[in-house]
């Protein structure tokens, strides 16, 4: 097929515009976790302008625009670990915030994503979504389906920097020391924590695994088994919306002492249940290392609060987010795999 070259930077364009859907994205990662940002999706913005809340907008997009999610995060444009965020500006969905975001992944739509918030904080400044950023740090209000979070982003007067930190919605322990029967593993004891989404937490040793040395596939399979077991054996409740009362996943830890100054290694990063148990104090910083990339995040409880009937804390999470590029994706109508396929 003939192609035309644009400029001298090795950029090649197709000879004609493709038919079907065209999606432009900004590509980022936070500690190795990818984020595919859709700066504008006209259907989502039009729905937001009708006065829909962000949770209602999420339901409508899932019902009518799910082909966008599948095209972006599934193969061949994405992969099993791909994550995406649709930016929404204006309307009730982003009321009181600089921007709102819908979070997309291979299986559906999440209510909160910490690594996405860190990346979106930088994106908001660099792409002009905050009218007057200030040095040395600018507060970015981001409306997530779980509520509004605030990111604090370094700003040198011309571009954003690292590390980025954010304050979560109220985080609480929904259950501690909960006995769960996991097929293939027997009884294990988990904690269930909420910080925008619900996660089950347990030491990987309970499953006969080690987060540093066990095979990633074994860790993922075991964590998935725990997630499914918890879903069947424990009913979650959210103080504000039952739309948010679902278990997002399981976090396997290395069981390191809470007072250790050494980084704790997790298969997934997020922890707030230790404060509830009295194992850490307000403003005591913990460092978390990704078991796959070695990237470091920090977290600490910065404020005690109430969330419904729960004693809760506001958690501050800090990490580094980086740009990896921009992309224009096409979805040709005649492509039999136009909406992608899911390959684990």
Site of tokens 């909406």: 339
Site of tokens 């990339």: 293
Confirm whether 144 is a catalytic residue.
no
> Which candidate in 113, 144, 146, 268 is catalytic?
113
Helix (H) or strand (E) segment spanning residue 319? strand 310-319
Q: Which of 54, 55, 56, 26 has its CA nearest to residue 40?
A: 26
Report the C-alpha gap between 252 and 146 in whole angstroms.
23
Check residue 152 and report its DSSP letter: E
Report the C-alpha gap between 199 and 48 in whole angstroms.
29
- Token pair, residue 144, equals 């997530």
Report the C-alpha gap between 337 and 133 in whole angstroms.
43
What SS3 class is residue 112?
coil
Report the C-alpha gap between 135 and 115 in whole angstroms.
23
Active site residues: 113
């Amino acid at each position: 097929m003939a192609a035309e070259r644009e400029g001298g930077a090795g950029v090649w364009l197709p000879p004609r515009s493709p038919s079907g859907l065209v999606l432009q994205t900004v590509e980022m990662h936070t500690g190795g976790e990818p984020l595919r940002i859709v700066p504008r999706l006209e259907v989502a913005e039009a729905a937001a302008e009708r006065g829909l809340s962000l949770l209602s907008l999420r339901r409508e997009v899932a019902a009518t625009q799910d082909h966008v999610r599948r095209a972006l995060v599934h193969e061949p444009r994405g992969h099993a670990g791909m994550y995406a965020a649709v930016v929404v500006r204006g309307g009730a969905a982003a009321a009181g915030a600089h921007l709102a975001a819908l979070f997309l992944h291979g299986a559906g739509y999440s209510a909160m994503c910490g690594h996405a918030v860190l990346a979106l904080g930088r994106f908001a400044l660099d792409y002009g979504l905050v009218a007057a950023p200030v040095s040395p740090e600018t507060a970015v209000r981001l409306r997530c389906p779980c509520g509004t979070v605030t990111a604090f982003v370094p700003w040198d007067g011309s571009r954003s920097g690292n590390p980025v930190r954010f304050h979560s919605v109220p985080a609480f322990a929904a259950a501690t020391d909960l006995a769960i029967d996991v097929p293939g593993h027997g009884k294990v004891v988990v904690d269930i924590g909420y910080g925008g989404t619900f996660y089950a937490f347990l030491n990987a040793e309970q499953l006969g695994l080690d987060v540093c040395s066990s095979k990633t596939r074994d860790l993922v399979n075991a964590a998935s088994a725990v997630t499914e077991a918890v879903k069947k054996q424990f009913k979650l409740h959210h103080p504000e919306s039952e739309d948010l009362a679902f278990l997002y996943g399981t976090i396997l830890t290395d069981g390191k002492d809470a007072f250790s100054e050494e980084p704790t290694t997790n298969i997934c990063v997020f922890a707030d249940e230790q404060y509830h148990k009295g194992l850490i104090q307000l403003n005591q910083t913990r460092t978390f290392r990704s078991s796959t990339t070695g990237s470091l995040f920090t977290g600490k409880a910065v404020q005690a609060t109430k969330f419904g009937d729960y004693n809760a804390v506001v958690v501050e999470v800090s990490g580094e987010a980086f740009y990896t590029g921009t992309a224009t994706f096409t979805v040709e109508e005649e492509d039999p795999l136009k909406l992608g396929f899911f390959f684990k």
